[in-house]
Structure 1
Amino acid sequence: PLIHLGGGLVLVWIAIQLLKGGDEDAHIEAKNSLMGAIWTIIVADAMMSIDNVIGVVGAAKGHLELVIVGMLITVPIIVFCSTLFARIINKFPVILWAGGALLGWVAGEMIVEDPLLMPYIQGEESLVKFGTVFFVLIVTGMIKIWKKRDSQ
């Protein structure tokens, strides 16, 4: 109990941050040693890929084979194609919105499938579907509101 709920809420937060964006530069402290620099790279890579891991695990719905295949496919794409993908996203921002909506969808599924909530919604398929769509709307709706407010 609470693992799906917690992972889903983290994924909602990540999706909102992804779509919210921000023009601020990242401030990373320069390190004086090789080990310090290596540690900074390891931590940065781990933090940037956490949404990928949670998303793949959530989409796999408990199938270990799908988690393994998903990680084998997505990790090389993230490592080797991130610059190319960033250029494509800058050219076609709808991809970013689709990705954020997909993260919201997976997060919604994870949240409504948490064992803690199951006794309350079990057998209510329409409620499960509504909960999933609700999180897509939360992610995309909040961003539209923030962006509209910031432009005023």
Structure 2
Amino acid sequence: MANILLSGDNAVVIALASRNLPPAQQKKAIFWGSAAAIILRVVLTITAVALLTLPYLKIVGGLLLLYIGIQLLSDSGGEEHMEAKTSIWAAIRTILIADLVMSLDNVLAVAAAAQKGPEETRLLLLIIGLAMSIPLIIFGSAMLLKVMERFPIIITLGAGLLGFLAGGMLVDDPAIKDSIQAAIGDAKLAFEVVGIAIVILVGSYFKKKNAAKETH
């Protein structure tokens, strides 16, 4: 269940990254992006605990998510002028990087849930959880694309979600977690709010800047 719920983040990224592609390429980006998300989770689940104890890894991951959120929001205007700027490989590259970063946290929840079962069924539980998340990611991405076309505000909300995740990831890094928690009472919430603000404000600024360039 944890893996299925956490698949929503991946669906948001895939939809955001592929929304400017032609319909045929959108389907390919969703398929390959979803496949990449599942493969990454399989690999990272095996090494989740060791990876998440490495200092500064979450800081780097959080900064990458901030960058991706800003980039996706700044590219959300003037879709009719973006066919030369956006390619399926650029979309898949963005999906791969974002999925890699987000999966660092996601797979820990999946691994922790699997550890609660009998030892002989843990691998089976992981495989079932990952398999069940595939249709959710694919259909969730396709549904979000349609919603984004009708309600563009969803693009801003999706980018803000990446900022939220980035802020939480940054403050959870083992290299700084204890010192920041000691200095700031509710540090995680503060960083999550700041992450949302950074992505939306900076992304909106570059979105307007890009739109101004297209009009000249």
Report if TM-score (shorter chain) is over 0.5. yes
1:62 aligned residue (108, 111, 132): 108
2:206 aligned residue (136, 143, 146): 146
Distance apart, 1:151 and its partner CA: 4.3
2:111 equivalent to 1:51:
no
Percent sequence identity over aligned pairs: 28
Which amino acid counterpart does residue 181 of structure 2 have in structure 1?
Q
What pairs up with 1:22-61 in 2 under 5 angstroms?
Answer: 23-25=82-84, 26=86, 45=92, 47-58=94-105, 60=106
What pairs up with 1:1-150 in 2 under 5 angstroms?
Answer: 1-21=55-75, 23-25=82-84, 26=86, 45=92, 47-58=94-105, 60=106, 62-63=108-109, 64=111, 72=131, 75-80=134-139, 82-123=141-182, 124-150=184-210
CA distance in 2, matches of 1:46, 1:93: 23
Distance apart, 1:55 and its partner CA: 2.8
CA distance in 2, matches of 1:18, 1:97: 9
Q: TM-score, with normalisation over the residues of structure 2?
A: 0.51
Distance apart, 1:148 and its partner CA: 3.2
Equivalent residues of 1:55, 1:103 under 8 A apart: no
Equivalent residues of 1:8, 1:106 under 8 A apart: yes
CA distance in 2, matches of 1:72, 1:93: 31
Against the structure 1 CA distance between its residues 141 and 6, is the aligned structure 2 distance closer, same or farther, given a 3 Å change threshold? Answer: same
Against the structure 1 CA distance between its residues 102 and 73, is the aligned structure 2 distance closer, same or farther, given a 3 Å change threshold? Answer: farther
Which amino acid counterpart does residue 85 of structure 1 have in structure 2?
L
Against the structure 1 CA distance between its residues 61 and 3, is the aligned structure 2 distance closer, same or farther, given a 3 Å change threshold? Answer: same
Over 6 Å off, 4+ runs = none
Quick check: 76-85 or 98-107, which moved more?
A: 76-85
Against the structure 1 CA distance between its residues 50 and 74, is the aligned structure 2 distance closer, same or farther, given a 3 Å change threshold? Answer: farther
**Gap runs ≥5 in structure 2:** 1-54, 77-81, 115-125
Equivalent residues of 2:167, 2:193 under 8 A apart: yes
Equivalent residues of 1:56, 1:70 under 8 A apart: no
Which amino acid counterpart does residue 185 of structure 2 have in structure 1?
E
Tell me: higher relative CO, structure 1 or 2? Use CA pairs within 8 A at least 6 residues apart. 1
- RMSD, aligned CA: 3.3
Quick check: 86-95 or 46-55, which moved more?
A: 46-55
Against the structure 1 CA distance between its residues 85 and 50, is the aligned structure 2 distance closer, same or farther, given a 3 Å change threshold? Answer: same
DSSP 3-state at the match of 1:125? coil
